[in-house]
Amino acid sequence: MKKPVQLKTPLGAEVLALSAGDHVELSGMVYTARDEAHLRMMKDGIPFDPKGAAVYHCGPVMQDNRIIAAGPTTSARMNLLSKFLIDAGVNALIGKGGMGSAVREQLKGKGVYLAFTGGCAALAASHMRLKGVYYEDLGMAEAVWIIELDHLPLTVGIDAKGGDIFETVRVAAGKAFDRYRKA
């Protein structure tokens, strides 16, 4: 197996060379954001420097100022809420389950979608250190948490060229189902 590509935020042109299916390890600062955080940032502005940033679709569980679980949220929930972040310079979205074709198009030439396995919240937390928070009034699950990552293992789900492992699987599954129905 190939060694994972090492990435560190802020990200730059190196993400443009990644291909769907590549394994990466991400280090550096990331910012969590779910639905309410996206809506707040659209209204009030992005509270962090978006240039080269990574946004993790996650509502971590905190206890005594430390992260005890940080599993990904279903990213498709943010399909209609991601364009302003990508346009502002965010180079990576992180979550589970992939994103829609509009986001795939928005990422072309700009950034990537990185997938983390659902159900591995404790594993994710073991690669994280809490650094701060924005919009704490939104509550634990919806606030924008500032997190320092240390080699979080991820897979490139959507690359900057339009490659999409989730769409590839959907198409293959559809063809297999059609063959099954005709048999």
Q: Which residues are catalytic?
A: 38
Where does 33-170 show beta strands of DSSP type E?
54-56, 61-63, 66-69, 92-95, 112-115, 128-134, 144-158
**Residue bearing tokens 């048999």:** 183
135: exposed, middle or buried (C-beta count within 10 Å: 0-12, 13-18, 19+)?
A: middle
Residue type, 153: P
Structure tokens that stand for 149 in this block: 């990552």
Residues in the chain: 183
